[in-house]
Amino acid sequence: MNRESKQSMSVAPLTVSGMTVAYQKKPVVEDVSFTLPEGKLVALIGPNGAGKSTLLKATLGLVPAIAGEVSIYGDTYKKMRSRVGYVPQRESVDWDFPTDALDVVMMGRYGHLGWIKRPGRKEKELAMDTLEKVGMADYARRQISQLSGGQQQRVFLARALAQEADLYFMDEPFAGVDAATEKAIIALLVELKKAGKTVLVVHHDLSTVEEYFDHVLLLNKKLIAAGPVETTFTPELLHETYGGKLAIVSASGRQTLVGEQ
Amino acid sequence: MLDWLISLWSDPNTRWILMGCTLLGLGSGVIGSFTFLRRESLLGDTLAHAALPGVCIAFMLHEVKSASLFLIGALAAGIAAVLCVSAISRLTRIKSDAAMGIVLTFFFGIGTVMLTHIQHSGSGSQSGLDKYLFGQAAAMVTSDVYTLMGVSVLLVAAAILLFKEFKLVSFDPGFARGIGLPVSLLEHAMLILTTVAVAAGIQAVGVVLVAALLITPAAAARYWTHRLPVMLAFAGLFGALSGASGAAISTLGGSIPTGPVTVLAATLLFVISMLLAPERGLVAKTLRHRSMKANYARSAAERSALNPAEGGNSK
């Protein structure tokens, strides 16, 4: 693993080229190509129905693409799977499933464990550590349906951390969470960045992009722009991405962007 | 009562049947837990009804009644039914629940026509195939019981060995695919195990009711625990109890079919669980709600007694 990381220092964590996805006849993601720089927090933003989640899922091979190639640390996703962590949308699972928070986090180790083998003490310790990192250690044995939405989101994040990956994909981690969870997620993103990890986040809230992220991908079926926040997160490019649905509101002297929700 | 139980055990033939039905209930309950959690309960019913034409064709081809042959027939028919369901929901706008409704009734219709045909033909009248509608455990012979044992061991062993994989695929298939599990292979494995459980159960419980042995024990077990391994154990236990009581009561004579009795026993366990389970049960919920209400009323009363100014009169 270590040797691999050193070899791939110069290789981009993720390169997507010509990604096209269609449901029935309509293309939802059209010819998208981009490269993620290493060790950055990247926001994938765009209006509703712009194909943000679809692009992320197609990159991970969770929905079939009509065309397009994905390269992760210079190799195929199949070979580099152990270096990728994934946080799905919270609503994608049934939270009444009979299991507790610690057990869900340990699922992050299943890929490393291989077939049949059960998680042991090592996995349990690692899972407890990651729960600690998201401030959920006290809830380890709590049935997952008894957690609040924000706590469930943090359990999902802890599971991704337990994957010990280098490149993370997060599908709307901030959607419908409380302030405490939002803070916990931000702290976690910062820590991941410090550790040299790369994180791609599907994001909705334009007002926090400048504060939380280094890079942005602007998507509206096609990729409108990609680059550092300072040069890419501009009113002109945002207008192009959101069309007429974007208003620029100036609140207390500070310019704030408000996208349609 | 005790005499009756002793007589059940002392008759070797009855003992075999009792064991067979108990093991069937155990295996179905365990594997049915995954079907239940994946919200595919209706699929179990589709598989069961689809098994009827499979069994009939197997009989018509070989003119013998053999549990393992019927198992193969039921498996093939079940797979055909599942393929039909997925083809309909993929190629048309019809949702899968409607597709299952269509396929289930269609296969059962064909099966009933075939069954009638067999009953009226020469060799068929002795076939006892009509027992496959509601199940007759007493008609089982030793080799049938061996088949049931084999199936039961297969189901429980698969659920234990692949526990971690089945759990993850049932809970979060997207994440499972992300970490490289062959999700569709595992889903198919679960489907085939479900089909095996159904196919093995039809002789004892009958095609009409066998799905209940998959779903009802699992639904009852869910009430007692928040942990999947415990839920599997409870579902297996409930299934085994249902199967045993179905077999035992149907030996009382008067040609009581095994299936309905088994299902009634499973339903009784479900109702008990629904009412009396700690925490999730209705009684516990109602009591909890009441005591919360009483506590709140008491503390509100205390507050207003201590601070009359805040007790509702505006200052």
Candidates A26, A97, A23, A101; CA nearest to A57 is A23
A150: which 2 tokens? 């924000």
Q: What is the mean pLDDT of chain B?
A: 87
Chain B: give the shortest CA distance to residue A205, in Å: 25
Q: Which residues of A touch B40 (CB under 8 A)?
A: none
Averaged over B152-168, what is the pLDDT?
95
**Given a cut of 50, is residue B147 above it in pLDDT?**
yes
Q: B218 to chain A: nearest residue by CA?
A: A98
- pLDDT value at residue A259: 52
Helix axes B258-276, B12-37, angle to 10 degrees: 50
Averaged over B28-52, what is the pLDDT?
91
pLDDT 10s digits, B197-206 = 988 888 888 8
Q: Which residues of A touch B224 (CB under 8 A)?
A: none
Burial class (CB in 10 A: 0-12, 13-18, 19+), A252: exposed
pLDDT 10s digits, A103-128 = 999 999 998 888 888 888 899 999 99
B260 alpha carbon, distance to own chain's centre? 13
pLDDT 10s digits, B188-198 = 899 989 988 98
The Cα–Cα gap between A144 and A102 comes to 9
What is the value of ipTM here, to two decimals?
Answer: 0.85
- pLDDT value at residue A93: 92
- The CATH number of the domain holding residue A236 is 3.40.50.300
Q: Which residue matches tokens 């942990």?
A: B227
The Cα–Cα gap between B28 and B16 comes to 18
- pLDDT value at residue A111: 87
**Given a cut of 60, is residue A5 above it in pLDDT?**
no
pLDDT 10s digits, B49-102 = 998 999 889 888 887 777 778 888 988 999 899 899 989 988 888 888 899 999
**What are the two backbone dihedrals, phi and then psi, of residue A33, each rounded to the nearest 5 degrees?**
-130, 135
Residues 114-143 of A with CB under 8 A from B: 115-119, 143
Averaged over B284-293, what is the pLDDT?
90
A92 contacts chain B (CB < 8 A): yes
What stretches of chain B show up as alpha helix (H) in DSSP?
2-10, 12-37, 41-62, 67-91, 96-120, 131-134, 142-161, 163-171, 173-178, 183-205, 210-222, 228-250, 258-276, 282-306
B289: which 2 tokens? 């709600």
Q: Please check whether the domain covering B2-277 is classified as CATH 1.10.3470.10.
A: yes
Burial class (CB in 10 A: 0-12, 13-18, 19+), A15: middle
**Given a cut of 80, is residue B310 above it in pLDDT?**
no
Is residue B52 within 8 A of residue B203, CB to CB? The reply is no
pLDDT 10s digits, B248-276 = 888 776 678 888 999 999 999 999 999 99
Q: Which residues of A touch B180 (CB under 8 A)?
A: 78, 81, 111
pLDDT 10s digits, A137-177 = 999 999 999 999 899 999 999 999 999 999 999 999 998 88
Report the residue from A97, A110, A163 with minimal CB separation from B164. Answer: A110
Q: Which residue matches tokens 């201590």?
A: B306
- pLDDT value at residue A8: 45
Q: pLDDT over 70 for what percent of chain A?
A: 89
The model's confidence at residue B315, banded by pLDDT at 50, 70 and 90, is very low
Report the residue from B163, B171, B222 with minimal CB separation from A93. Answer: B171
Chain B: give the shortest CA distance to residue A99, in Å: 5
The model's confidence at residue A26, banded by pLDDT at 50, 70 and 90, is confident
The model's confidence at residue B124, banded by pLDDT at 50, 70 and 90, is low
CB contact under 8 A, B231 and A60: no
The model's confidence at residue A258, banded by pLDDT at 50, 70 and 90, is low
Q: In total, how many domains does chain A have?
A: 1
Is residue A166 within 8 A of residue A197, CB to CB? The reply is yes
Q: Which domain holds residue A191?
A: 2-258
**Given a cut of 50, is residue B311 above it in pLDDT?**
no
Q: pLDDT over 70 for what percent of chain B?
A: 95
Strands A254-258 and A247-251: antiparallel
B167: which 2 tokens? 């759990």
pLDDT 10s digits, A198-257 = 999 999 888 888 889 999 999 998 999 999 988 888 888 888 888 766 655 444 444 555
Chain B: give the shortest CA distance to residue A254, in Å: 40
List residues bridging with A247 in a β-sheet.
A258
Q: pLDDT over 90 for what percent of chain A?
A: 50
**Given a cut of 90, is residue B125 above it in pLDDT?**
no
- pLDDT value at residue A260: 47
Domain boundaries, chain B: 2-277
